[in-house]
Structure formats: C-alpha cells, structure tokens
Amino acid sequence: MKKVIVPIDFSEHSEHALKAAALLAKRNNIEIVVLHMLDLNIAALSDSASDIQAQSVFYLKLAEKKIKTFLKKEYLKGLHVTPVIKHYLSFKEINEIAEEVKADLIIMSSHGASGVKEIFVGSNTEKVVRFATIPVLILKEELFDLNFEDVVYASDFSEESIPAYKKALQLIEFFGAELHLLFVNTPNDKFKTSTEMKEMAANFLNKSDQDISKLKEITFECESTIEKGIIRFSDRIGADLIAVSTHGRKGLSHLFEGSVAEDLSNHSMLPVVTIKI
C-alpha cells in the first residue's frame, strides 16, 4: 500500500479518519491525499455567469484557506500529505478522484443513519461505498492505534466474490491480522443445509487457490439477517475489524434489496472495510 485518500468536511468525524490515516502512514511510509469536495450549488442561485464564476473563485479560495488550517496538526508532521479540492456533482466522483491519484484505500468516518432517514437520505459514507471500486475503511469513532489483530471476513462463497476475497487477503496480510472467515445462513429462500454450506465453502477455497484444510477454520452462523450474524460473531470473538465485499447496488435495486456492506457501514460500531465485487 502506497497511498490512501481521506475525504474531509472539516468535522470532528472526518478528523478521526485523518488521524487513522496518519497512524497508517507513520507505520508504513504512506502518502495521504486529503480530499475536500466543494459543493458550489449555492452559486447556481446567481442570475449571471459572471456572478457564478466570482462566487466559485471565492468559495475555492475559502476552502484552500480552511484546508491549510485544518492540516496544521501535530500528528501530521513529517508525513507526506497532499491536499486536493474538487467541485462535486455526485459521490461517484470521489471514486474517480481516488482512481485518478492511484489510491489503494479510502478512509472515512461515518455518522451512520437509521430508520426513515436511512431510507430517504442515507449517510455520505454509504454513498461512497456504493460507488467505490477500491477498498473503503469506515470508522465510527477515533482509533488510537491501527493494530488490527482479528478480522472477520464475511462471504457468500459465490464465485464472483473471489477477486474481492483475494483483495481482502492482501489487505489483511498488510495489517498483519488473523482472518476469521464467516458464512451467515439466513431463514429465507437462500437457506442452506450444512452439507450445502460446506460444499460451497470447499468450492470457494479451491477456486481461490486456498488450502482446502482452511475449511475447518470457517464459521457457519445462523441468524435472522446477515448483518446481525456478522456483528454478533464479531462481538463474540472480540474482532477489531469487519471486512465484507459489496456489489455496490444503486437505484431501485438498492432500495428493495439493500446492501449488507452499506448496512454495516451505518450500524456497526467496529471499523468496517468494504471491497467491491
């Protein structure tokens, strides 16, 4: 890992993500790209093009001043920090910028959302997760170290998720953590018998070029929802981090089917890393 990107809005929560990036950078000599997405929609209320241009320049200069002040932190001294300010129209542009600067990881902090607010608004972090093609590390609170020792990776053992699993293995190896592979069986039309689960897991390991002996290390949980199964298992073993792959569903597909990764980014108090399938 050579570069991480941290979107900030100058809030306390975004500083939690920046501090985590600093911890990672100090340990591994990583460049931190600090990204502020400038919302210039207020300028669209002007009547003339010249007013829009003038206000755009004003808000850009203001953002440059704010980010310069924001980055005057003791914990950033001696680190390679690159500030970037961009005007955004949608959250998918964060991913485009991450790809443009060749970042290996996006680090964000999440306020979370629930109930009606979650259905109609969601969290900004959730929207980034939906579009990101690189892993996204989501934090709920300030971390004082990044010594992840036990990582739960939840999988559905589908063949399409194998590339995401391999990326997760690389990330877990980078953190020097122990992997706990998990399958959550739910009481719906996708319910699997014990034999079916083990056959799926064996096929998954085989096609992932993993030792089949790892089958005995996989945990099979039964729970009412996948999200609950992941959180309860993680709590039980004292995990430090949850890793999960995501399809990045959008639109009506997201509304009616939901996304385990997005639900976890909203509801889990543990750090969550999402990896796009």
pLDDT of residue 90: 60
Amino acid 268: pLDDT: 83
The verdict on 132 and 246 lying in the same domain is no
Supply the CATH number for residue 189's domain.
Answer: 3.40.50.620
**Which domain, by its residues, includes 110?**
1-144
DSSP letter at 154? E
Residue 179 three-state SS: strand
Determine the pLDDT at residue 92.
72
Instruction: Name 106's Cβ contacts closer than 8 Å, sequence gap at least 6.
Output: 4, 5, 6, 7, 94, 95, 98, 128, 132, 134, 135, 136, 137
Are 158 and 253 contained in the same domain?
yes
Boundary-marking domain end, from 112, 144, 176: 144
Amino acid type, 221: E
109 is written with which tokens? 């902090």
Dist CA 122 CA 262 (whole Å)? 9
According to the model, what pLDDT value does residue 39 have? 67
Are 73 and 164 in the same domain?
A: no
Which has the closest alpha carbon to 277: 171, 201, 167?
167
Place of tokens 């999440």: 110
Instruction: Specify the pLDDT at position 271.
Output: 93
Sheet holding 105-109, edge to edge: 81-87, 31-38, 3-7, 105-109, 136-139, 272-276, 241-246, 150-154, 178-185, 219-222
What does residue 275 show for φ and ψ, rounded to 5 degrees? -130, 125
Of the residues 144, 179, 204, which one is the last residue of a structural domain?
Answer: 144
Q: Please indicate, yes or no, whether residues 184 and 214 belong to a single structural domain of this protein.
A: yes
pLDDT digit string (tens) for the chain, length 277 residues = 999 999 998 888 889 999 999 999 998 889 999 999 876 554 454 556 666 667 777 778 888 899 999 999 999 999 999 999 887 656 678 888 998 999 999 999 876 444 433 333 346 777 788 888 999 999 988 888 888 999 999 999 999 999 999 999 999 999 999 999 999 999 986 899 999 999 999 999 999 999 988 898 999 999 998 999 999 999 999 999 999 988 765 544 433 345 777 778 777 889 999 998 8
Token representation of residue 85: 């300010």
State the chain's maximal CA–CA distance in angstroms.
69
Calpha distance 188→93 (Å, rounded): 36
Same domain, 113 and 230: no
Long-range CB pairs of 26-30, under 8 A, 24+ apart, other chains included: 26/79, 27/146, 28/1, 28/174, 29/80, 30/1, 30/2, 30/3, 30/4, 30/80
Residue 37 is predicted with a pLDDT of 84
Same domain, 104 and 75: yes
Q: Which helix or strand (DSSP H or E) is residue 55 part of?
A: helix 49-70
Q: Which of 82, 112, 144 is the last residue of a domain?
A: 144
Structurally, how many domains does the chain consist of? 2
